[in-house]
């Protein structure tokens, strides 16, 4: 490789990163700027933030939510909005202690208000104990309980929006999984609208960045940490789809972006989502499509 090929396309400094679509090489400073500009442009294009918003970041302490907090900490003041962090402590031994500590030290460093809720407080026990005898369903059970716990944490922050760290890889995997399951309603459903009194609108500012770009961003800004993965995070279909998609993206760059374009097109042609009739759970009073919500059913509440 000649030296001219390994220079930043913008300033001629030595390049740190090579990006495709469009093909370009960038130095550390220009890569950080490129990432931040893409996120800001996406937020503006999709009108994610309105002046006066109080935005809660769902902060797990992992790489995606860490990058999201750093980015929003930079941008929100210029958009006239304020920032707060919300964390769910599921009680997963060997995993959550360390990520929780990372989350707390970050909000402390940045001076961001931080609300933490625990499964033990909300559901009477740690995830590890709630899962005894049904460990293989870990992700499913945890997913349902986490969603409720995060909604509760967000309620306590008084936020008007919930920002989550879903990246391009996560979103493209979900699109493909919904296709493979034949689940068109879920493919076209849109959680960005919220439910008055129950869920605040959700935004996903990082959906334009690949996991690789997020890791590189954190490394270059000096915030990358090697943290444990959740021991339950191996739902069979998602890990197969992740492997397959990584291979496709490598051989056919832009595959993930094209999947997102496909989903957006499908949403557009599906018209306004049919939300279905929601009632309230007779045990806990939260919104549900049945008589008893998923959380109460999982916890065996009320028989």
Interacting residues toward Zn ion by CB under 5 A: 8, 10-11, 13, 27, 30, 281, 283-284, 293, 296
- Nearer to Zn ion by Cβ, of 122 and 283: the residue is 283
Q: Which residues of 88-100 are buried (b: 16+ CB within 10 A; e: fewer)?
A: bbbbbeebbeebb
Minimum Å gap between C-beta 294 and Zn ion is 8
- Nearer to Zn ion by Cβ, of 12 and 228: the residue is 12
Minimum Å gap between C-beta 149 and Zn ion is 13
Minimum Å gap between C-beta 218 and Zn ion is 19
- Nearer to Zn ion by Cβ, of 136 and 289: the residue is 289
- Nearer to Zn ion by Cβ, of 96 and 148: the residue is 148
Minimum Å gap between C-beta 33 and Zn ion is 8
- Nearer to Zn ion by Cβ, of 13 and 229: the residue is 13
Minimum Å gap between C-beta 229 and Zn ion is 30
Q: What does the DSSP 8-state code read for residue 181?
A: T
CB 278 within 8 A of CB 288: yes
| Angle, helix 255-270 to helix 236-251, in steps of 10 degrees | 120
Minimum Å gap between C-beta 151 and Zn ion is 12
H-assigned helices in the chain: 28-45, 63-75, 96-110, 119-123, 127-130, 138-157, 168-180, 184-188, 211-221, 236-251, 255-270, 294-298
- Nearer to Zn ion by Cβ, of 87 and 294: the residue is 294
Alpha carbon distance 89, 219 (integer Å):
26
The set of residues, in sequence order, having a beta carbon less than 8 Å from that of 154 and lying 6+ positions away, is: 56, 58, 86, 162, 200
Residue with tokens 């090579």: 18
C-alpha 135 chain-centroid distance: 24
């Amino acid at each position: 490789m000649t030296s001219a090929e390994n220079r930043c396309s913008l300033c001629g400094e030595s390049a740190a990163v090579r990006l495709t679509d469009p093909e370009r090489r960038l130095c550390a400073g220009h890569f950080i700027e490129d990432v931040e500009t893409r996120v800001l442009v996406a937020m503006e294009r999709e009108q994610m933030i309105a002046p006066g918003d109080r935005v809660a970041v769902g902060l797990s302490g992992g790489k995606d939510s860490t990058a999201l907090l750093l980015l929003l900490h930079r941008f929100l003041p210029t958009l006239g909005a304020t920032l707060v962090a919300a964390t769910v402590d599921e009680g997963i031994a060997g995993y959550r202690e360390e990520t929780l500590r990372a989350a707390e030290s970050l909000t402390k460093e940045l001076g961001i208000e931080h609300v933490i809720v625990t499964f033990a407080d909300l559901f009477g026990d740690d995830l590890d104990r709630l899962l005894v005898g049904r460990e293989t369903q870990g992700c499913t059970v945890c997913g349902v309980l986490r969603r409720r716990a995060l909604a509760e944490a967000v309620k306590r922050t008084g936020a008007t929006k919930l920002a989550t760290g879903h990246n391009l890889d996560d979103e493209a995997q979900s699109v493909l999984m919904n296709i493979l399951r034949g689940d068109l309603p879920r493919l076209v459903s849109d959680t960005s609208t919220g439910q008055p009194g129950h869920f605040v609108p959700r935004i996903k500012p990082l959906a334009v960045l690949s996991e690789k770009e997020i890791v590189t961003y954190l490394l270059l800004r000096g915030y990358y940490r090697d943290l444990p993965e959740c021991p339950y995070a191996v739902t069979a279909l998602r890990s197969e789809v992740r492997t397959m998609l990584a291979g496709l993206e490598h051989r056919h760059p832009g595959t993930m972006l094209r999947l997102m374009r496909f989903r957006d097109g499908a949403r557009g042609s599906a018209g306004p989502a049919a939300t279905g009739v929601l009632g309230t759970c007779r045990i806990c009073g939260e919104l549900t499509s049945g008589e008893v919500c998923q959380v109460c059913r999982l916890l065996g509440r009320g028989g």
